[in-house]
């Protein structure tokens, strides 16, 4: 049985990690209560009242623990992951797993030296049932050869819940590194690309002049040797929307297309995980609410078998590289 612990509960995605690994048969050993968001710790305590709170160094040093899950402040994640891997543990971290090129290179070196797994849980694919179904349809050839992805990731700002570091790119890496890494992952995955290049990127601050360093808009144009991709992310989800963001993905193929309305079908069908498939044979809506999430089972198997079925290590590194490059070369647009 896989034994795992949590270090860093500064983002709500930590709940996805624990829930997913428990469902995959893992044992939750405990967590370090250190956080910059006390409300998250309180919610964690209520959700997992029997999980012991343990100093992080004791968790790192416990030889019986197989995996450390990390949802710390983004700039701290790589350092914690390196510490865990050098202690003989595999890592599941929230995105972004790294916020600088220097961190990426150090993580690469540590993986090479230790042979440990550095996995990033890209929740907008790994924890979205319609995204899992889309992957199956693409593999089955339902839309032919994929030639483009168009991914949008709008988010609600929820100002009262945000710690000070949330507004400082030195801590979160910038909007492309932080949020658009989801869509970069999806571009590589659905197009079957092992690498890509950044053609153009932009960032802007349109809505928060009082926080001049903050970025509430980002876009990226991507290309590989087999497909193209466009990404838009933002912090402009309006209050009337009954969820945090209208995340969508359109996958264009040579014989059809797939559209995902991941979290809501606005003014349409209730619930989430809506998939629309159009090809030469059918035009249909698929309710993906019962689709099984396979990332956590695959990751658990990889830990035991030393395989890379959930995601290759090179895929993780390429998502990080492209996100960092797009952030670094982004043109600043709009209000400053």
What confidence score (pLDDT) does residue 334 get?
A: 83
Fold of 3-121: Rossmann fold (3.40.50)
SS3 at position 79? helix
- Cβ atoms of 83 and 110 within 8 Å: the answer is no
Task: Give ∠ CA 165-169-175 in degrees, rounded to 5.
Answer: 110
Using CA atoms, how far apart are residues 151 and 187, in angstroms rounded to an integer? 8
What confidence score (pLDDT) does residue 335 get?
A: 64
Intervals of CATH 3.40.50.720 along the chain: 3-121
H or E stretch at 277: strand 274-279
Using CA atoms, how far apart are residues 29 and 70, in angstroms rounded to an integer? 14
* CATH number of 125-293+325-333, picked from 2.60.40.10, 3.30.360.10, 3.40.50.300, 1.10.10.10: 3.30.360.10
Q: pLDDT tens digits for the chain (336 residues)?
A: 999 999 999 999 999 999 999 999 999 999 999 999 999 999 999 999 999 999 999 999 999 999 999 999 999 999 999 999 999 999 999 999 999 999 999 999 999 999 999 999 999 999 999 999 999 999 999 999 999 999 999 999 999 899 999 999 999 999 999 999 999 999 999 999 999 999 999 999 999 999 999 999 999 999 999 999 999 999 999 999 999 999 999 999 999 999 999 999 999 999 999 999 999 999 999 999 999 999 999 999 999 999 999 999 999 999 999 999 999 999 999 865
Intervals of CATH 3.30.360.10 along the chain: 125-293+325-333
What confidence score (pLDDT) does residue 315 get?
A: 99
Helix axes 101-114, 74-86, angle to 10 degrees: 20
Residues in the chain: 336
Query: Which burial class, exposed, middle or buried, applies to 282 when counting CB atoms under 10 A from its CB (0-12, 13-18, 19+)?
Result: exposed
What confidence score (pLDDT) does residue 227 get?
A: 99
Query: Which burial class, exposed, middle or buried, applies to 270 when counting CB atoms under 10 A from its CB (0-12, 13-18, 19+)?
Result: exposed
Task: Name the DSSP class of 53.
Answer: B
């Amino acid at each position: 049985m896989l034994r795992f612990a949590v270090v860093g509960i500064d983002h709500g995605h930590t709940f996805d990690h624990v829930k997913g690994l428990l469902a995959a048969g893992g044992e939750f050993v405990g967590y370090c209560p250190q956080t910059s968001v006390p409300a998250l710790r309180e919610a964690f305590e209520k959700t997992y009242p029997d999980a012991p709170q343990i100093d992080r160094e004791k968790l790192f040093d416990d030889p019986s623990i197989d995996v450390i899950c990390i949802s710390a402040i983004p700039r701290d994640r790589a350092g914690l992951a390196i510490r865990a891997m050098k202690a003989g543990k595999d890592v599941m971290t929230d995105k972004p797993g790294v916020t600088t090129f220097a961190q990426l290179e150090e993580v690469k070196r540590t993986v090479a030296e230790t042979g440990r797994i550095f996995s990033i849980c890209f929740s907008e694919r790994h924890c979205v049932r319609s995204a899992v179904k889309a992957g199956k349809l693409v593999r089955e050839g339902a839309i032919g050869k994929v030639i483009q992805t168009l991914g949008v990731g709008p988010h609600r700002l929820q100002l009262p819940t945000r710690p000070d570091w949330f507004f400082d790119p030195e801590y979160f890496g910038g909007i492309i590194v932080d949020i658009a890494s989801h869509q970069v992952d999806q571009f590589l995955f659905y197009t079957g690309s092992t690498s890509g290049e950044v053609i153009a990127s932009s960032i802007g601050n349109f809505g928060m002049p009082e926080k001049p360093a903050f970025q509430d808009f980002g876009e990226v144009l991507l290309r590989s040797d087999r497909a193209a991709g466009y990404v838009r992310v933002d912090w402009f989800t309006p209050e009337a929307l009954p969820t945090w963001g209208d995340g969508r993905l359109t996958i264009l193929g040579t014989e059809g297309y797939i559209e995902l309305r991941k979290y809501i079908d606005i003014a349409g069908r209730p619930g989430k995980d809506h998939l629309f498939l159009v090809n030469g044979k059918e035009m249909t809506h698929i309710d993906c609410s019962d689709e099984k999430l396979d990332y956590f089972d695959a990751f658990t198997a990889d830990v035991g078998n030393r395989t890379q079925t959930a995601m290759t290590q090179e895929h993780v590194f390429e998502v990080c590289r492209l996100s960092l490059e797009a952030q670094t070369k982004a043109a600043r647009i709009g209000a400053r």
